Structure 1
Amino acid sequence: MTIGRLAEITGVPASAIRFWERHGLLPAPERQGGQRRYPPEAAERIVLLRKCQQAGLTLVEISELQQDRSRRQAMIRAKVAEIEQRMVDLEHAHQMLEHALQCGEEDIVNCPKFREQMATWREQGSS
């Protein structure tokens, strides 16, 4: 398929596809009459690249992910730990915002229930 068709079915601009090719994140496609021609698997690779970006992986990390297993293990472990910490942080933010919607205090920091929750978060962070 052409780069235009690939861009259309994946929702990714052709410029991004060319950028990923230049950086080795997408295999160079065959050319027919000077035009790039992509196999159907290219769309799957692009979905993977987008998911990796949405998960916060850098281009270097995405490149490592595509290397042999032994090279990618350390990066994957570090990224999993980072994501797990972000999940905890997001859950705390969610709890705080949910509480703020219900709280009658002018300043949420003065709320005894919220102060208890913050103390719990600090204790969890130190363990």
Structure 2
Amino acid sequence: MRITIGRLAELTGVPASAIRFWERHGLLPQPERQGGQRRYPPEAAERIILLRKCQQAGLTLAEIGEFQQNEPRRQAMIRVKIAEVEQRAIDLRHAQEFLEHAVQCSKPDILACPTFQRQMESWRSASPATGGTGETSTPPAQ
């Protein structure tokens, strides 16, 4: 049984405009048409969920197109994206450490705080390439 674009949008939580956009860019197959209306197979919802996950992983439209192909470049592109996601995770962890410290820090200028200075130093050593995480436990504010 084929479903309308409106129903597909409801099922996936993705606006119909985004579905049409992905079709125009070749990321979704062109649907059948009945009476001028798009009609999708139920498995189109799974493809849309995959596209959303690709976007959440930070893939560009071109990379999503490549992801859907069975090409040798696909594996290299995925490895690059994994490294980018790892770096984003480190950056988010550092942001959380900074905010947790800032909410407790009694120094008028956080840069004058020795605990924060140590925290910043640990961030400088964090790099997925070297295996460093820069993870620290946040000591009490000074």
Aligned equivalents of 2:99 and 2:76: distance in 1?
Answer: 35
Residue 63 of structure 2: aligned partner: 61
The residue matched to 2:93 in structure 1 has which SS? helix
CA distance in 2 between partners of 1:52 and 1:123 (Å): 30
Q: 2:53 aligns with which of 36, 51, 54?
A: 51
In structure 2, relative to structure 1, the CA distance for the partners of 1:11 and 1:123 (3 Å cut) is: closer
Q: 1:120 aligns with which of 83, 103, 122?
A: 122
Match of residue 137 from structure 2: none
Match of 2:126, SS state, is helix
2:98 is aligned to 96
DSSP-derived class of the 1:50 partner:
helix
SS in 2 for 1:124: coil
Give the stretch that moved more between structures: 69-78 or 86-95: 69-78
CA distance in 2, matches of 1:55, 1:124: 21
Shift of the 18–124 alpha-carbon distance from structure 1 to 2, 3 Å rule, reads closer
State the match for 2:31 in structure 1: 29
The share of aligned pairs that are identical, in percent, is: 72
- Work out which of the residue numbers 1, 9, 12 in structure 2 matches 1:10: 12
4+ long deviations beyond 6 Å: none
Report the structure, 1 or 2, having the larger helix content.
Answer: 1
Name the count of aligned residue pairs. Answer: 127
Q: Which amino acid aligns with 1:79?
A: K
Which runs of 5 or more structure 2 residues have no equivalent in the other structure?
A: 131-142
**Aligned residue in 1 for 2:78:** 76
**What stretches of structure 1 of length at least 5 have no aligned partner?**
none
Structure-1 separation of matches of 2:47 and 2:24: 15
Question: In the TM superposition, what is the alpha-carbon distance from 1:123 to its structure 2 partner?
Answer: 2.6
Determine the C-alpha separation between the residues in 2 that align with 1:84 and 1:124.
Answer: 11
- What amino acid is the match of 1:119? E
Q: CA RMSD in A?
A: 1.5
Displacement of 1:121 in angstroms is 1.5
Q: Deviations over 1:20-40 (max 9, x none)?
A: 001010011112222211011
Alpha-carbon separation, structure 1, partners of 2:71 and 2:53:
19
Q: Distance in 1 between matches of 2:125 and 2:31?
A: 53
